Structures are given as structure tokens and as C-alpha cells.
Structure 1
Amino acid sequence: MIDSVRSARIDEAALKYPRIRQLTVTHQNNAEGDMSSKLLGNNFFRGRMRTNRTTVNMNIPLLTQNKNIAVASIGFVHQFFDLNKVTTEAPGYVVSEETRYVPMVNLAASFTRRDTLFNIPLSLTASLGGLFNPDFQSAQLRFLGILTVPIIRRENTNMTVGVILNIDPSSLTPFIPLISYSHKFKSLDIDLMADLPYRVALRKTIAKKNSLSAFSEMAGNNSFFGFDGPNPTLPHRMTFATTELKSGLMFEHRLTKKVVLSFSGGVNTTLQSRIFKVGAKQNDYLIKNKTGATPFVQVGFSMLPFWDPFKR
């Protein structure tokens, strides 16, 4: 009975917070939009860009014992960048129309400990991971340290504050403040979830198995690619880093006890787009891109937690 209650609570949390689902597969199509680029501060080229991205992520709990939790994660990203209607504006360069396929592999392991300090409950997470291309010739390693402290714990309201230490060559800042707030409006049966600065969502359950959410969420995407041009200014191996803000509506249907189907659409805005040498910092970028906001549609398949850890 205890395990059944615990499982139901975990499932409910995973429905509200998709990031903690055990398996997630999504495919996102972005409409074509204008793109302009500057190389070392000078006009480089203009064109039209379309991006399609299929993402697979799986979280595998390895250990849940007393106050400790260990989790391994593996992810795959299949991306297609379609560049067309190109006008080159930099002497000595020729930027061609092309469709480029860029696959990536994401591996990580994390350890979380929940404890108290001076009678104050806290949670400390350490995560070591890496982003690789399939042949593992290009790699970007990172370390995340997350410290959170609960501030409010009520029946319908919870609030946690904390800080993220992000040691990553492509990160713009090593420290990121974190505020997590949730509130249930019981009279309307609507959940508000705010995980700042990453996500804000309003979720309404419809007929038990369905839900409709209005959301706005920010995510970063890094991709490795090679440049084979004759000009020596650009290195052969480079990182294409973007920070995107997706806003829209998402409908989810709970197909079975553990399987969820999702359909979403809205507007995808590229907040930042830079290209730099693999291993360099984002501030040392070579190319800066500017892209307009474009409509997007996304379909998804996910599974709520089903894999018990090896030791409990």
C-alpha cells in the first residue's frame, strides 16, 4: 500500500514536471524564418533557416537509499538544419545552401543528497555529464552543482529557492539563481508551476486522462559541426549554441497508466545564437546569428517513472 501511494505521488509530480519523466521522445518542427549572421562583427551572410529536432531522453534511477539518490541519464538528438536563399556578404567566403544533419549524444550521472543543516532542510545535487558527437571526436564536459532550500510547504503551495553552479565552457555565467514555486487553485483545478528562470506553466486537468497547459520555457541547444571552407579564419570543428524560448499550448493524453502522448504548438524565439570553436567560451564567439521568431509544432511520447532503482 505504501509503495502504491508513493508511486501515485511520483506519477502526479511527473505529469506536472515533464523533465522528471523516465523516458521522453519528442519531435519538433520549426517553420522557416529569416537569418542573418556576422563574422567577427562584420556582415557574413543572410538567408532562410528551418530547424527540425527529434530528442530522446531517458533517466535511469540507480540507487534510492535513505537520503541519497543516484541517477544516470542518456539522450540522443537528431537535428536537421535547412539553410536556403543565401546571400553571402563577406569577401573571400562562399556560404552555400544546404541541409545539414547533426546528431548528438548526451550522457550524465547525478547524485542527490537530502539532509538538514542547522535544522534547515536542504537538497544538494552534483551532476557530471558530457555532450558528444556520435564518433566522440568532439566533446563538451560539464559539471552542475545544485543547492535548494524549501521556503514554503503548504497543502496547495510550495516554494524552493537555490543556486546552480554550472561549470561548462560554453556557459555565459557559472552561477544561476533558482526559484521554484507551485500553487494549486482548487476552485478552478488549475496548477501553476514556475521554475525560474526556465519555465512557467498553467496546467488544467480535463476528464482525468487529459490536460491542457499554457507554457513558456527556455532551453539551450549545443551542436558540433565541421567547417570545410578554404578560409583559415574559421576552425574545422565548431560549436553552434542557441538559447531558445518556446511559448504556446500543450495538450496531453494519458494513454495508459504510464504512457502519455502530447501535442503542442506556439512560437519559438531564438534569444541567442552563436558559433565558436569547440572548447571555447561563448563570449569568444566567431559568428553571431540573428533569427526571427517562428511558429512550431511538437509531438511527444513519454513514460512516467516505471524503473525501480537497483537498491532501495
Structure 2
Amino acid sequence: MHTVLAQSADSVVRGAQITKLTLAYAALKFTELRPLNAEYSYLTPYNYSSRLSDKDLPDRKMINFSQAKVGVNLNLIKKQKWALGTTLGYRYIMTESEPIHTTGADKVVQSDNYQTHFTSVNLAYFTRLFNKMTIFSSSAVVDGSEKSFERVRGLITGTMILKANRQTKMAVGLLLNIDPAAQIPFVPTFLYEHEFDNGIIADINLPRNLMLRKHVFSKGRVSIGAELDGTSFYLYNIDGSSQKYQYSQLDINSGLVYEHLLGNYFIVTAKTGARIVPTARVFEKEKSFEDYVYKTKPDPAFYFNIGLSFNPFSKIKRK
């Protein structure tokens, strides 16, 4: 990424370096953009209230909420000014809940499993705008469940790199989410990364995360901060009709992250902290997140996450 603003006499070589280093920087920051990533997460039990249409439902307790997911990200073509790739993802969610104010034989545990998958084709274009390196990207995404494909959506981003040197990186951009289920379809983005003299790195990538990072030992990195995530899956036959529904929630994970490099390319990641869910709703698949039929308010809970990823561009090792 440090080469992005370098003034090279050979424009062909410069373009190739920009493409390679931009992809490497993205893989370093986001685990889902690495060639291979697998994760397992678990939430401690928590209570939640819910409302169906205009009627409050009895409070329940989620005694198990865990999920496993795997993703594959492949760069198919890398040229001087553009890159084409594809991403494949699969998620398996396991839940168990029970009523709070019921005892004895009436206290029945409800168990459910959900599967989701997605496939995307991703195109990135590198150019200069106002004499600043600018990256435009677009993704066409098809997702669904174990039953069928359900939705086609799109994602368009534009990012202008304002500064990029060894110590500081800064960029601004816009993100457009072409999806009726999106909670926030249009989002400004801001990236700022700065390494202080004491080795602490401020890593701000709004609206995605806000982190302080520090390299430890010879192959480790510890981070503290908060990041946004989401959980979504499809529901069938919940009202005796053929209507399909979608459940979607926004997660805010605040806590600690530790990453450790195994060999040269494999990274083990462990996360723990508190999860807050500000919004969680069920809506008809054809309608928007705002036009919901059911909503729930989970209490905060502690989360644990363990993951393994393959990253040929790894830079976790202390320099």
C-alpha cells in the first residue's frame, strides 16, 4: 500500500504494484477478504423481549446461540488498472431458546438451525481522480439458504486515498448497498491508520471498526476496540403460508482480539468481549427492513470467537 502514491517512471509497473498492494492491504485488514477464512463463535445465554406486529410476546432466554462460517476469496484476474475476483461464503447457525416465566413440563426448549450461503463476483478499478489514487469497486451478490437461492443484491464503493506512507494512511469514500433489506443503504466511509512511535496503531475504518492495535511477541498482534457485524438468515413456513421471511440483526462487538501467525501464512484469531444488538427484525423477503412484522430486543451478551485464515500477504510478524 505504501507504493500507491509513489511516483514511478514506469506506469505499467506502478499499476501492477498498486493492484497487488491494494489487495494485500485489504486482506490484512479484513479476514473475510483473505483467500480462506473459517470461524466459530458462541454467545453466552441472554434474555430477549419480542413484539409481533402490535402485540408484546412473553420474554424468552436464548440458552445457545452459536455459528460456524467459512469463506473463500479468490482473485481471478489482476491487471494494471483492474482486478476481478469471486467470494464464496457459508454460515451455519444453531439456536436454543426457552420461556423465562414457565417451569416444569411447560418449559419446552425450542431448537432451530439455519444455513445461509452467498456467492459474489467482485470488480475493482484503479485510477487517479484529482491527482489522488481512487479505487472503484462493485459486487454482484447472490445469497440464499439450504432450500434455494433467495436474493440478488449489489454493492458499489468508491474510495479516494488521501495519504499513504509508512506511518499514516487515510482515505474517504462512499458505499451504496443495493438491497431492500439493507438497514443503511448509503454510507460515507473513512479510513485512518497511524502508527505511533511507541508501536501502537490507531486503526479506524468507519463505519466498520474502531481499533487500537499493537504487535506483541514475534508473531502476534493484540487489538482492543469495537466492530460492526451482522447476522441474517431466511425463514420458511412460520405462518402456515408460502411467504418467505428474512431475519436480520446488527451486531456491535466490543472487546479484545488476538492474532497469531502460524508459519508464514496461517493466522489464528481469538476474539472476546460484549455484543450489543441495537436492531433485530423479521420482514417479508420482498419488503424492506423498516417494514417488519416482528422485532426483538436481545440483552447484551459475552461472545467468544476463534478463527483460522490463510493470508499470503500476512504482515503480522513484527518487523
Q: Same fold (TM over 0.5)?
A: yes
Structure 1 CA distance, aligned partners of 2:75 and 2:57? 46
Matched, 1:264 2:264: no
1:118 CA displacement: 4.4
1:120 CA displacement: 3.6
Query: Residues 21-50 of structure 1: CA distance to partner in whole angstroms, max 9, x if unpaired?
Result: 221101000011011111113202310113
1:208 CA displacement: 2.2
- Out of 180, 185, 191, which is 2:201 matched to? 191
The question of whether the paired residues in 2 share the 8 Å contact of 1:35 and 1:48 is answered with yes
Q: Which moved more, 1:211-220 or 1:151-160?
A: 151-160
Structure 2 CA distance, aligned partners of 1:209 and 1:153? 24
| RCO comparison, higher one (Cα < 8 Å, 6+) | 1
Q: Which residue of 1 aligns with 2:311?
A: 304
1:116 CA displacement: 1.9
Partner amino acid, structure 1, of 2:36: L
- Out of 214, 230, 241, which is 2:224 matched to? 214
Query: Residues 166-212 of structure 1: CA distance to partner in whole angstroms, max 9, x if unpaired?
Result: 11010133211100111111x22122211101111111111221111
Matched, 1:98 2:105: no
1:155 CA displacement: 3.0
Partner amino acid, structure 2, of 1:64: K
Structure 2 CA distance, aligned partners of 1:241 and 1:8? 34
Secondary structure of the corresponding residue to residue 290 of structure 2: helix
The question of whether the paired residues in 1 share the 8 Å contact of 2:135 and 2:159 is answered with yes
C-alpha spacing 1:11/1:152, structure 2 compared with 1 (3 Å): closer
- Out of 189, 197, 215, which is 1:205 matched to? 215
Structure 1 CA distance, aligned partners of 2:83 and 2:25? 19
Matched, 1:84 2:77: no
Structure 1 CA distance, aligned partners of 2:304 and 2:229? 16
Matched, 1:175 2:189: no
Partner amino acid, structure 2, of 1:83: S
Q: Which residue of 2 aligns with 1:31?
A: 44
Structure 2 CA distance, aligned partners of 1:222 and 1:11? 28
Q: Which residue of 2 aligns with 1:146?
A: 157
Secondary structure of the corresponding residue to residue 305 of structure 1: coil
1:152 CA displacement: 2.3
Gaps of 5+ in 2: 1-12, 314-319
C-alpha spacing 1:110/1:104, structure 2 compared with 1 (3 Å): same
Q: Which residue of 2 aligns with 1:52?
A: 66
Matched, 1:163 2:174: yes
* Number of residue equivalences: 294
C-alpha spacing 1:97/1:279, structure 2 compared with 1 (3 Å): farther
C-alpha spacing 1:12/1:197, structure 2 compared with 1 (3 Å): closer
1:112 CA displacement: 0.5
- Aligned-pair identity (%): 22
C-alpha spacing 1:255/1:190, structure 2 compared with 1 (3 Å): same
Structure 1 CA distance, aligned partners of 2:107 and 2:207? 36
1:85 CA displacement: 2.1
Partner amino acid, structure 2, of 1:23: L
Secondary structure of the corresponding residue to residue 283 of structure 1: coil
C-alpha spacing 1:163/1:12, structure 2 compared with 1 (3 Å): closer
Partner amino acid, structure 2, of 1:267: A
Query: Residues 36-87 of structure 1: CA distance to partner in whole angstroms, max 9, x if unpaired?
Result: 1111132023101131011111100011011101110000001012111256
1:121 CA displacement: 2.6
Q: Which residue of 2 aligns with 1:284?
A: 291
- Out of 227, 233, 240, which is 2:247 matched to? 240
The question of whether the paired residues in 1 share the 8 Å contact of 2:135 and 2:160 is answered with yes
Q: Which residue of 2 aligns with 1:64?
A: 78
Structure 1 CA distance, aligned partners of 2:307 and 2:190? 27
Q: Which residue of 1 aligns with 2:316?
A: none
The question of whether the paired residues in 2 share the 8 Å contact of 1:86 and 1:96 is answered with no
Structure 2 CA distance, aligned partners of 1:294 and 1:158? 34
1:225 CA displacement: 1.7
C-alpha spacing 1:87/1:279, structure 2 compared with 1 (3 Å): farther
Structure 2 CA distance, aligned partners of 1:146 and 1:7? 19
Partner amino acid, structure 2, of 1:56: V
Partner amino acid, structure 2, of 1:169: P
